[in-house]
Amino acid sequence: MVLLSLTASHRELDLDALERLSTGSSSVGRVVVGTCGPVAGAVVISTCNRFELYLDVDAPLSGDSVRHATRHVAELVAHASGVTGDVAARSFTVRTGPEVTEHLFAVASGLDAMVVGEREIAGQVKRSLAIAREQETTSKTLELLFQTASRTSKRVGTDTELGAAGRSVVALALDLAESELPPWDGARAVLIGTGSYAGASVAALRARGCEDISVYSQSGRAEAFAESHGVRPVDSLVEALADADIVVSCSGARGRALAARTDEAALGAMVAGNFGGQTTLPHGLTGEVGPEASLGHVLDAAAVVRARERAADRAGDEPEPRPLVILDLALHRDVDPLVADVEGVLLYDLATLKAHAPAVAHDVVAQAQGIVDAAARRFEETRLGREADAAVVALLDEAEVRVVAEIDAAVARLTDELALRGEPAPEESDVDVIARDVRKRVHAELHDKIVAVRARATAEARAAEAALVQGAVALTMTASTQRDADHRSSR
């Protein structure tokens, strides 16, 4: 088994490119496992600032195989997202072996987040594994990898100041909006969406003293969410906006609608076979135009204009209604960017938040990184130990054959000696004594051999993975160079 990851995040791509790339992400893991023979498991992490695929490959991978695998999955992502295959391929950072473990543990612990130390990512990593279980795409190795990542994240949260800081994308957004709002105990908030960010938003708003919170959902889940979180459901978004001071939009509905357009049959045909095969886009799918072009936003400029007009009517003789702050925390923008042009409206999106993300003290990050590094080393030692188990089992099997042969020979000699003396054949207790002595001697001789075989098998596994890592690094450097060239040419 070999671990392989293809990752793209706010560190490598601007959020517009990341948004396009992650369209259709919900189907990628299922289709890869269902159609690519060597892939034993897949888990996909798709959040507001990252899109990552973790694969468990049941085949020896060479540098060429890594390139084939990357291209195969990139074409799959390209088809689902509407970008070209070349763009998808060079958007990913490719990792293999221990680098996969190190990266995932850092991600789960918030060290690779847009807001370093944010805790939402820990829940997102857990949910990614849960989704893979539901889709039946996980594997024993990926289960252990992601569960260990969650335990590592928990330790970082409890053993360092990083976890005590209460840092999150939601908290940062509310901090940025605060200067434009009335006091929190008098502010009126509207949530769009009922997912994990909505729950985190309720908690963050209440922590600041805001109690007037309502929720709107296109999917009809507002009432259930409102009941479980103690907020108020609304049916008319425009009416709710007319009374609101702040809107937190985090539905992701546009992203799910885009994903629903994915034709899994065509995707399956595109990646059928194993990693060594050729990949061809189905006829008519060039990937030149993203499918999101014709899909509306959850909140458009027209709706906001109507809401502002109603707010002005209700303000009566007041010079102007209070400003409306809108926080768009969805990667696949819930809010039409044109909303920013509406008078009296301030729109903050993920790009704005990224630009204002605060730094963290170096010693705090170093302490958290130390925990992550130690956990990754332990995981890799355990995993490589399992690689060596096959060699040890083979040695034990050989030893058992020798033990049986030596016991039979010893019993036969004793039987002959007793017969010469006219005595009866050995009793069962005599045979048991012989068996214990033989096993003790053979296993004592075997100890040093087991140590040597395990060391040799582990060293061979490390060497093979080191070669794979070099291949992945070379592939990533090529992709990074191409991204830089694309960026320069677009200026």
Q: Give the residue numbers annotated as catalytic, written as ranges.
A: 48
- DSSP state for residue 273 in the 8-state scheme: B
Q: Hey, what are 158's tokens?
A: 């409890």
What tokens were used for 80?
Answer: 């689902």
Please choose, from the candidates 60, 62, 61, 87, the residue with its C-alpha nearest in 3D space to the C-alpha of residue 74. 87
Helix (H) or strand (E) segment spanning residue 79: helix 63-81
* Cβ partners under 8 Å of residue 430, min gap 6: 414
- How far apart are alpha carbons 23 and 293 in whole angstroms? 12
- Report the SS3 class of residue 270: helix
| Contact status, residue 328 vs residue 308, Cβ threshold 8 Å | no
The SS3 call for residue 324 is: strand
How far is it, in rounded angstroms, from Cα 168 to Cα 117?
A: 7
H helix and E strand count, the chain:
17, 10
Q: For residues 225 and 217, is the Cβ–Cβ distance under 8 A?
A: yes
Cα–Cα distance measured from residue 237 to residue 226, given in angstroms and rounded to the nearest whole number: 15
Alpha-carbon distance 190 to 204, whole Å? Answer: 13
- Residue (of 292, 226, 273) closest to 18 by Cα position: 292
